[in-house]
Chains A and B, each alone.
Chain A
Amino acid sequence: AQTVTQSQPEMSVQEAETVTLSCTYDTSESDYYLFWYKQPPSRQMILVIRQEAYKQQNATENRFSVNFQKAAKSFSLKISDSQLGDAAMYFCAYRSALYSGGGADGLTFGKGTHLIIQP
């Protein structure tokens, strides 16, 4: 079974600064997807960014980018120019790839990192 570990229960950053959230995972599979979800106080789970394991290029979405190190099984999220609206719980998640026979079952989540933005 896959496991996802987020070693930082809480992180704090000044507004407009850059912060990096860590995530490591354990798997024996070669094809999979990795995700970062944001959960604000409203509890809605919002997809921030996704990465396909077969792609070497790191995914980016505006101020959000990842550092995907497949050999090290590491998947960190970098938030640039932090804004007050970025304050939330951030969850790293893993999913097997559908086309390799897996993926029908759900996401495996880490325990989350609480991100605080200091004005």
Chain B
Amino acid sequence: NAGVTQTPKFRVLKTGQSMTLLCAQDMNHEYMYWYRQDPGMGLRLIHYSVGEGTTAKGEVPDGYNVSRLKKQNFLLGLESAAPSQTSVYFCASSYSIKTTEETQYFGPGTRLLVL
């Protein structure tokens, strides 16, 4: 049982390049989330999904797109990276219908540097 995993762990991009961050969970959770963490800040919600095939915007969605084609995976895409997107990105999942568990479980984070 790996919990929540994220790929890659670290990436350097040039301005204008694109990339996709992958999040996978093996807890059969319904809800999945992408957050970003900047220095001196708590985590802020980018996008989230309440089930396979659904996505919704969070607090800071601009410049990002997401997809949830499979229940266990949640992808975060940057179409044209900007230096302002330099951050640490966290994926989280929660809510098992069987247990109505409210707690969010986090992945280890992806550090992204945009030059």
Interface mask (A63-85 → B, CB under 8 Å = 1, otherwise 0): 00000000000000000000000
In the complex, what residues of B have CB within 8 A of residue A103's CB? 102
Is B113 an interface position by the 8 A CB rule?
no
- Taking CB atoms and an 8 Å cut-off, the chain B residues in 75-111 that contact chain A are 88, 90, 92, 95, 100, 102-106, 108-109, 111
Residues B103 and A104 in contact, CB atoms below 8 Å apart: no
Question: A35 vs B33: C-alpha distance in the bound complex, in angstroms?
Answer: 17
Question: A107 vs B35: C-alpha distance in the bound complex, in angstroms?
Answer: 9
Q: How far is the CB of A73 from chain B (nearest CB, A)?
A: 17
Question: A97 vs B102: C-alpha distance in the bound complex, in angstroms?
Answer: 8
Interface mask (B39-56 → A, CB under 8 Å = 1, otherwise 0): 011111100101000001
Chain B interfacial residues counted at CB < 8 A = 26
Question: A41 vs B100: C-alpha distance in the bound complex, in angstroms?
Answer: 31
In the complex, what residues of A have CB within 8 A of residue B50's CB? 104
Is A98 an interface position by the 8 A CB rule?
yes
Query: What residue in chain B is nearest A99 (Cβ atoms)?
Result: B100
Q: How far is the CB of B59 from chain A (nearest CB, A)?
A: 8
Q: CB within 8 A of B100: which of A43, A47, A98?
A: A98
Known: A43-B108, A45-B90. A105 touches B102 (CB 8 A): no
Is B74 an interface position by the 8 A CB rule?
no
Residues A106 and B102 in contact, CB atoms below 8 Å apart: no
Residues B108 and A107 in contact, CB atoms below 8 Å apart: no
In the complex, what residues of B have CB within 8 A of residue A50's CB? 102-103
Is A28 an interface position by the 8 A CB rule?
no
Residues B102 and A33 in contact, CB atoms below 8 Å apart: yes
Residues A47 and B103 in contact, CB atoms below 8 Å apart: yes
Closest 5 CB pairs of A and B: A109-B42, A45-B106, A106-B45, A106-B33, A43-B109
Residues of A within 8 A of B (CB): 4, 33, 35, 37, 42-45, 47, 50, 91, 93, 95, 97-99, 103-112
Please list 7 pairs of residues, one from A and one from B, whose beta carbons are closer than 8 Å in the complex, sorted by A's number: A45-B92, A91-B42, A104-B56, A105-B58, A106-B48, A109-B44, A112-B41
Other than the given A43-B109, A44-B108, A111-B42, 6 more pairs (CB < 8 A) read A33-B102, A37-B106, A91-B43, A97-B102, A98-B100, A106-B33
